[in-house]
Structure 1
Amino acid sequence: MSGETMLEAALPSPPLLRRVPSPAAGGGRARILAALVLTLLAPLPARAEIEPGDLTLTVTAEFNGNSAPFAREMVLLKIRGVYKQPILLEEVVQPSLANFSWTQLGRDHWSKTKLPDGQSAIAFDRTVAVFPHHAGDFVIEPFTHKLTVNDVGERRVVEVRSKPIPFPVAAWTAVTGGPDVKEPWWLPAGDVAVTDSWSPDPETVKLGETTRRIVTLEVQGMVAEGLPPRPVMRTRGILTFAGPVTRETLLTPSGPVARATYQWDVKPGVPEVIPLDAIAIPWFDTNTRTMREAEIPARQIGGGLPDREGDRAPPPVPSPLVAAAAALAAFGLGLALIGYGTGRPRLRLSAATRRSLHRAARAGDPAGFRAALEAARREVPALARIWRTRPDLAAPLAALDRAVFGTAGAPAPDLPALARALSRPEFIAALPGPERLAPLDGPAR
């Protein structure tokens, strides 16, 4: 109801004025005039006017590294409304986003908030992940929030619109990679994790047997449709049967997480040891704006038992005669080897730890190499003590620490050479044994 309508309702109608008593009433006429003046001067009924700033809707694009994104790179749109008026009904009208793929991350969130002047308000939050299709200068058109508010007992529909947002998408200018190149696959992400599992262990598989390999690729900031196809695993001497590929997208407040699972059944076709090379997965780090590389690790099929003690079958119990003969043979062999020094015990890192060192060395990742080295030190502390006494290892290990923990730009050592040196077995003079007791007739000679 407008102010003019309210004012007309407050004024007496002409028929009512014609029914006022005659002037002979004297004091009665004065009372009627006074009542009419009070009616005209009385305040109008209170009305909650919607003022500028009472209903606001903003959309913010969060560009990774404050840089223009590349095609197919995720950008989060943060949509926030702040409303002083009580909301009865609401509906968000989203622009077409013709040049983008998009997905909403979770449900809308409503909460109470305080304005800078201390007034209470209602906050509305929605997050949308968008993926531009190609390079160019685009504009995110306004979002519209249709609100039904209570205006002095009457429902009123108000449309609150955000401002348009400039959205530039950069063109890839590097020599290799990029969104428009099919090989290698373009994978922009906040992080990439690779999990590789075999059942049974490939090193225990013999000719004619089968092992199953399952590789899980988990990518932050990507939907499942954007993950690369199944990697090609092909080498001489094996038969490979590709299994199904499963893909899923997990929605989190910080963005979608895409997960793909690839599966193969592998059967050796020759009795020799068959090496499987590592499979590189290049990806673009959206945080540092650089190309990086994840890796499906190299393995071998056949060639021995795994390093894990739990995977080994218990040895058969020999008969007493066989055990006695073996003991005599071992005793004689030990006597024969004492003079030549070939019976010295040795220490060596496990195959899994050696693979971690070589993988970090090939990737040129000093921090990853240092983390694998720390795990190696915890695994075999005696090896770490030996390394510290070797002059040829002291200098590269110190250079590695300076590259990881020192000032930026410190050169890293030759990581492949260092990985090879640390992977070699170390011979020790003798294993510590029990302390000898002095004879009864005096100190030991």
Structure 2
Amino acid sequence: MVIFWDWGRGVRRGRTGLLAGLLLAGMSLPALAEVEPGDLTLTVTPELNGGATPYTREMVLLKIHGVYRQPILLEEVIQPPLANFTWTQLGRDHWSKTRLPDGQTAIAFDRTVAIFPHHAGAFTIEPFVHRLTVNDVGERKVVDVRSQPIPFTVAPWTAPTGGPDAKEPWWLPARDVSITDSWSRDPETVKIYETVRRTVVLEAQGMLAEGLPPRPVLRTRGIITFAGPVVRETIITPAGPVARATYVWDVKPGVPEVIPLDAIAIPWFDTVSRTMREAEIPARQIGGGLPDRETDGAKGAAASALIAVAAGVLAFGLGLALLGFRRERGTLRLPAVIARDLRRAARTGDANAVRAAVAAGEAAMPALARRWRERPETREALAALDRAVYGPTGGATPDLVALARALTKSEPGRAFGPAPVLKPLDGPA
């Protein structure tokens, strides 16, 4: 669903002119003045993000401003075709009184149109025409007030990765991007074959809804997912359109174990800072938590029994710790910040930054780092990375994106294992 105001050519004719005529009839302006050059002016100004040349599909605001010394009886804006752009008008036209530098009062007309270029190149925005019916010395006179043509350049993307023409990652130019992740119930309390609904809302400022990415893939071992329809909408604000997409999945675990759901990164181009950034659908896990509380007496008794069992398990676990055993976490995964830095560095091809992120991950998760070294493919890729970064003559850089993908996967933790810290109680003193 797309919601936006497109005050089309047919809608504006007559009705807007009548509204403007009624609005301006009471303004204290000379009614019988002769129309002279400079009495009616129309300008169109592109509002660029930070003054930078825009990229494909990046929003640019056209500020249309008219200043008229004559009373306006009827009016109609004739817009150029804008063949190389998608466009939408932001709200209604605004009429007001303004005072000129010479002290006289005039009528001000303002309209804002958001345009989105289709591709890179050099274009010309043809003149806008404001067709006015004015009172010229007691006679009705139709005057076409034209703006100047505007040279308009759309820059090609020259960075090594990303960009409007790349299939991956999705090109998402916006002023800001936010993600809201909600569940119909706590996913950690979901049992095997039960269903929980996940809803993710992606919101981007300065975009139309059709520019948002398709639904992300939510797939991992042990779950069955049913994807619902994607709901898209565009909310018009004075600062520009806000695009919103709502993604829905029904998730059902098919195994009794804890199921980790990895974070899903959504790269986007910050049109304010002119840099690539990353939003993230957070990582979660299915199962592994305490069940929901029940209110009736029978369920309360079951909960009390469960607490007793949990206390016994805790005591047993403490005894194992005293006997020199340890239990690792059920799931091993990189902290979200390190994983995000690792993926970003891999996408930009920065081997040094990838190695720094790997070092941070090894320090934060030594058990996970040992898993990396146990697998031949990741061990060889890490060795190639070390040669490329630290070798005296360098070396071939491995596939950084594939390496980052392998290192950011969740790993199941080992259940129990002997701890080398404490000696057995029956050993020699």
User: Which category of TM-score, normalised to the shorter sequence, fits these structures?
Assistant: 0.5 to 0.7
Tell me which residue corresponds to 2:222: 237
Displacement of 1:117 in angstroms is: 1.8
Q: Does 1:252 align with 2:237?
A: yes
| Aligned with residue 170 of structure 1, among 155, 171, 189 | 155
Tell me which residue corresponds to 1:363: 340
* Distance across 2 between alignment mates of 1:224 and 1:259: 6
Q: Does 1:151 align with 2:136?
A: yes
Q: What amino acid is the match of 1:359?
A: A
Q: What amino acid is the match of 1:176?
A: T
Asked whether the equivalents of residues 216 and 260 of structure 1 are also in contact (C-alpha less than 8 Å), the reply is yes
Displacement of 1:360 in angstroms is: 3.5
Tell me which residue corresponds to 1:53: 38
Tell me which residue corresponds to 1:142: 127
| Aligned with residue 272 of structure 2, among 287, 292, 311 | 287
Tell me which residue corresponds to 1:120: 105
| SS of residue matched to 1:90 | strand
In the comparison of the two structures, how many residue pairs are matched? 307
Asked whether the equivalents of residues 34 and 137 of structure 2 are also in contact (C-alpha less than 8 Å), the reply is no
Asked whether the equivalents of residues 364 and 415 of structure 1 are also in contact (C-alpha less than 8 Å), the reply is no
* Distance across 2 between alignment mates of 1:360 and 1:151: 68
Q: Deviations over 1:391-428 (max 9, x none)?
A: xxxxxxxxxxxxxxxxxxxx99x87579779xxxxxxx
Change (3 A) 1:201 1:282: same
* Distance across 2 between alignment mates of 1:156 and 1:253: 33
| Aligned with residue 207 of structure 1, among 182, 192, 201 | 192
**TM-score, normalised on structure 2?**
0.65
Q: What amino acid is the match of 2:84?
A: N
* Distance across 1 between alignment mates of 2:69 and 2:283: 61
| SS of residue matched to 2:218 | coil
* Distance across 2 between alignment mates of 1:157 and 1:184: 52
Matches within 5 A, 1:196-345: 196-305=181-290, 312-313=293-294, 317=300
| SS of residue matched to 1:363 | helix
Asked whether the equivalents of residues 361 and 419 of structure 1 are also in contact (C-alpha less than 8 Å), the reply is no
What 5-or-longer segments of structure 1 have no aligned partner?
A: 1-45, 343-354, 366-410, 422-445
Tell me which residue corresponds to 2:345: none
Displacement of 1:318 in angstroms is: 5.2
Change (3 A) 1:418 1:117: farther
Displacement of 1:248 in angstroms is: 0.4
Q: Which has the larger radius of gyration?
A: 1
Q: Deviations over 1:298-323 (max 9, x none)?
A: 111111138xxxx644695559xx99
Tell me which residue corresponds to 1:368: none
| SS of residue matched to 1:203 | helix
Displacement of 1:214 in angstroms is: 0.6
Displacement of 1:361 in angstroms is: 3.9
Structure 1 segments, 4+ long, off by >6 Å, are 417-421
Identity of matched residues, %: 74
Q: Deviations over 1:39-88 (max 9, x none)?
A: xxxxxxx9512222211100000111211111111100000001111101
Q: What amino acid is the match of 1:52?
A: P
Q: Deviations over 1:328-370 (max 9, x none)?
A: x99xx79x99xx7x9xxxxxxxxxxxx9x933443349xxxxx
Change (3 A) 1:196 1:415: farther
Q: Deviations over 1:188-213 (max 9, x none)?
A: 11111111111121111111101111
* Distance across 2 between alignment mates of 1:245 and 1:142: 38
